[in-house]
Amino acid sequence: MAPYPNGFLSYAVAIHLKSPHLQMEESLRQGAGYWNALSSREKNQYRSKYQKRCLSKSSTSRHRRQSEKLKHMGCGRKKIVPKCSRKPTTPACKPRSVNRCPRKSSSNRSSRECMLMKSPKGMATDVKFNESLGCSDPQTHPVLIIGQLRHLNLLKFSHLESKLSPRVTEETFLNAVACLHPAPTDKVSLYLDVATVAALPLKASRHNTASRAHAITRLVKNHVLNVSEESVVLVCERENLFASACAVVRAFPLYSRKTGNLLASSQPKLNLGCGDGNANSGRNVVNVEFVLINKDGCIESEPLTDDELNCLNETTRAIRMTARIVDMPCNEMNVDHFIQEVEDVGRELCITPKVIRGEELLEQGFGGIYGVGKAAAVPPALVVLSHEPKGAQETIALVGKGIVYDTGGLSIKAKTGMPGMKRDCGGAAAILGTFYAAVQCGFRDNLHAVFCLAENSVGPNATRPDDIHTLYSGRTVEINNTDAEGRLVLADGVCYANKDLKANIILDMATLTGAQGVATGKYHGAILTNSETWEAKSLQAGRKSGDLLAPIIYCPELHFSEFASAIADMKNSVADRQNAQSSCAGLFIAAHLGFDYPGIWMHVDMATPVHCGERATGYGVSLLLTLFGGHTDSKLLQSIASTDEEPPSKRWCRD
Count of domains observed in the chain: 2
The mean predicted confidence, pLDDT, of the chain is 86
Same domain, 532 and 612: yes
Same domain, 320 and 238: no
- Give CA–CA dist 566/561, Å, rounded: 12
Confidence grade of residue 418 (pLDDT, cut at 50, 70, 90): very high
Same domain, 411 and 382: yes
Same domain, 529 and 597: yes
Same domain, 205 and 328: no
Q: Is residue 559 part of a domain?
A: yes
Mean pLDDT of the region 22-43: 68
- Give CA–CA dist 522/539, Å, rounded: 16
First vs last C-alpha separation in the chain: 71
**Spatial contact of 480 and 573, defined as CB atoms under 8 Å apart:** yes
The answer to whether residue 71 is catalytic is no
* CA atoms in the 13 A half-sphere facing the CB of 307: 9
Q: What CATH number corresponds to the domain at position 526?
A: 3.40.630.10
At 43, the amino acid letter reads K
Q: Nearest 5°: phi and psi at 199?
A: -110, 140
Q: How many CB atoms lie within 10 A of CB 427?
A: 32
Alpha helices in 266-419, H assignment, sequence order: 306-327, 335-349, 359-363, 367-373
Confidence grade of residue 103 (pLDDT, cut at 50, 70, 90): very low
pTM of the entire predicted model: 0.81
Alpha helices in 508-642, H assignment, sequence order: 515-520, 532-545, 556-559, 581-593, 621-627, 635-640
Q: Is residue 85 part of a domain?
A: no
Q: Is residue 48 part of a domain?
A: no
284-293/125-129 β-pairing: parallel
Comparing 511 with 56, the larger pLDDT belongs to: 511
Q: Which of 340, 320, 343 is nearest to 332 (CA)?
A: 340
Note the pLDDT of residue 28: 65
Same domain, 537 and 609: yes
Q: Is residue 113 part of a domain?
A: no
**Spatial contact of 154 and 299, defined as CB atoms under 8 Å apart:** yes
Domain that holds residue 431: 313-646
pLDDT above 60 for 521: yes
Q: Which of 413, 444, 475, 615 is flagged as catalytic? A: 413
Alpha helices in 350-485, H assignment, sequence order: 359-363, 367-373, 426-440
Note the pLDDT of residue 295: 86
Q: How many CB atoms lie within 10 A of CB 557?
A: 7
Alpha helices in 467-506, H assignment, sequence order: 486-499
Q: What CATH number corresponds to the domain at position 209?
A: 3.40.50.10590
Note the pLDDT of residue 259: 81
Q: Which of 324, 374, 487, 537 is flagged as catalytic? A: 487
Mean pLDDT of the region 550-576: 98
What residue ranges in 346-474 does DSSP mark as E strands?
Answer: 354-357, 381-387, 395-406, 446-456, 468-470
**Spatial contact of 18 and 2, defined as CB atoms under 8 Å apart:** no
pLDDT tens per residue across span 474-510: 999 999 999 999 999 999 999 999 999 999 999 999 9
Confidence grade of residue 69 (pLDDT, cut at 50, 70, 90): very low
DSSP letters, 87-108, are -TT-TTPPP--BPPPPP--HHH
Q: Is residue 97 part of a domain?
A: no
The answer to whether residue 413 is catalytic is yes
Q: Is residue 454 part of a domain?
A: yes
Same domain, 224 and 338: no
Instruction: Starting at the earlier edge strand, list the strands of the sheet with 125-129.
Output: 125-129, 284-293, 229-237, 143-147, 195-199, 186-191
Dihedral of CA atoms 534, 538, 539, 541 in degrees, nearest 10, equals 130
- Give CA–CA dist 94/336, Å, rounded: 60
Same domain, 249 and 327: no
pLDDT above 60 for 190: yes
Q: Is residue 265 part of a domain?
A: no
Q: Which of 546, 551, 571, 544 is nearest to 560 (CA)?
A: 571
3-state secondary structure of 252: coil
pLDDT above 90 for 253: yes
Confidence grade of residue 282 (pLDDT, cut at 50, 70, 90): low
